[in-house]
Amino acid sequence: MKFIDEFRRSDLAKGLVSRIAQRSKNNVRFMEFCGGHTVAIFKYGIRQLLPPTIEMVSGPGCPVCVTANSDIDKCIAFSQLSDVIVATFGDMLKVPGSRSSLQRAKAEGADVRMVYSALDALSMARDNPDKSVVFLGIGFETTAPTIAASILQAQEQKIKNYHVFSMHKLTPPVVKAVLNAGEVKIGGIVCPGHVSVITGSQAWEFVAKDYGIPCVVSGFEPLDILQCIAMLVEQVEGGRSEVEIAYSRGVCHEGNVEAQKLMHRVFQSSPAEWRGIGRVPGSGLKLAEKYSRFDAERVFEIEPGESYEPEGCICGEVLRGVRTPNDCALFNTICTPQSPVGPCMVSSEGTCAAYYLYGGDSRG
Ligand code: SF4
């Protein structure tokens, strides 16, 4: 298949693997921030191809996984309101909150519907004028502009029953929070590809400059990731810390400026709660005052109750790269994708799901 097969060629992969093995002399730990990279690394067995000098750890780059339990509880509370349809991406349905999940709420009679985009949710509002639609806005810089566009469209078309509960998060502030916490020594970052399409590689310059950590933006095919690791190794061995791009077919230095403008027109940055990491200043996106009538949190009164983490689940530590799913006593015993205890097992980009589906390695 054009544009796929080229990035899966085994002869090129072998060349990159041998280049990495030859160049890598010093022990180093690289963090892949993005859940999409975690899944690809496991799916293509990339960890097993690397020399023992390189350790890969997963970071907090899965939007479903990092959504705090208090926000999941709010999502469920919205579904309990009468005449409200909760519209959500499928991954959110099974995520357990403190007492229930959206899937369970739906089974008990709540009107919870799966959508593939914010525009689907907007159409739902148009088609159900006697109800209010609350769309659960989740994701990083990649999805926020499309949701901003749906709000502008609702305004333009005078659709008054469309609301967004914005749980969007910005990635550079949380990378900063993880680095400041200093719990895991990181020698290089595999920077997220899709996020960087919007933010540009410039978003990671502070990591190279202020923390002296090499950064390479990667795509999601096996050759992209191997190329990225090879470039990180070159920086480490050469004593450099710069921001480089191994995904130039999607990412440039400035990013998508129009999408950035759209996002900042509708949203304003705010503190946000991240599972396992806590409150990170400037890492959330809430609707700007001008669009407050679309803000579900301001329009509806909900009673989400007290929030607490699932007993025995160490998702928070997995998301910080401090522990792996293999360290969790519930992994593959009580917690499986069929019966997930925490979000890292539910999400298609979750680290626990990747370990379960593709097998965690002993260096995990
Ligand atoms: Fe949480 Fe399950 Fe992962 Fe353990 S295996 S950290 S319970 S999601």
pLDDT of residue 256: 97
| 113 lies in some domain | no
- Enter the tokens of residue 66: 């990092």
Ligand 1 atom closest to residue 351's alpha carbon, by position in its atom list: 3
Distance 268 CA to ligand 1 centre (A): 33
The finding on whether 225 has its CB within 6 A of some atom of ligand 1 is no
Question: What is the extent of the structural domain holding 337?
Answer: 315-358
pLDDT of residue 166: 97
- Return the SS3 of 55: strand
The finding on whether 321 has its CB within 6 A of some atom of ligand 1 is no
Sheet containing strand 84-88, strands side by side? 112-114, 84-88, 132-137, 162-166
| 326 lies in some domain | yes
How far is Cα 26 from Cα 132, in angstroms, rounded to an integer? 57
Q: Model-level pTM?
A: 0.91
pLDDT of residue 3: 56
Q: Find residue 284's DSSP bridge partners.
A: 169, 270
| 350 lies in some domain | yes
The finding on whether 96 has its CB within 6 A of some atom of ligand 1 is no
The finding on whether 233 has its CB within 6 A of some atom of ligand 1 is no
Tally of domains in the chain = 1
pLDDT of residue 115: 97
| H/E element, 15 | helix 10-23
Mean pLDDT in residue range 19-36? 95
How far is Cα 215 from Cα 243, in angstroms, rounded to an integer? 5
Give the model's confidence band at 73: pLDDT under 50 very low, under 70 low, under 90 confident, else very high. Answer: very high
Mean pLDDT in residue range 274-278? 93
From the list 357, 353, 349, 354, the residue with the least C-alpha distance to 63 is 349
On the question of pLDDT at 70 being above 50, the answer is yes
Give the model's confidence band at 61: pLDDT under 50 very low, under 70 low, under 90 confident, else very high. Answer: confident
pLDDT of residue 359: 78
The finding on whether 276 has its CB within 6 A of some atom of ligand 1 is no
Distance 308 CA to ligand 1 centre (A): 15
The finding on whether 341 has its CB within 6 A of some atom of ligand 1 is yes
| 353 lies in some domain | yes
> Strand 278-287 vs strand 267-274: parallel, antiparallel, or unpaired?
antiparallel
The finding on whether 189 has its CB within 6 A of some atom of ligand 1 is no
Which residues have CB under 8 Å from 17's CB, separation 6+? 49, 50, 226
From 311, 330, 334, the mutation candidate for ligand 1 (largest count of ligand atoms within 8 A of CB) is 330
| 328 lies in some domain | yes
b/e map of 148-160 (b: 16 or more CB within 10 Å)?
Answer: bbbbeebbeeebe
pLDDT of residue 9: 72
On the question of pLDDT at 318 being above 80, the answer is yes
| 233 lies in some domain | no
Mean pLDDT in residue range 309-336? 93
pLDDT of residue 348: 84
On the question of pLDDT at 6 being above 70, the answer is no
- Of 364 and 292, more confident: 292
Distance 60 CA to ligand 1 centre (A): 14
- Return the SS3 of 301: coil
| 296 lies in some domain | no
Distance 188 CA to ligand 1 centre (A): 26
| 203 lies in some domain | no
Q: What percent of the chain has pLDDT over 90?
A: 88
pLDDT of residue 16: 95
pLDDT digits (tens, 9 = 90+) for 153-195: 999 999 999 999 999 999 999 999 999 999 999 999 999 999 9
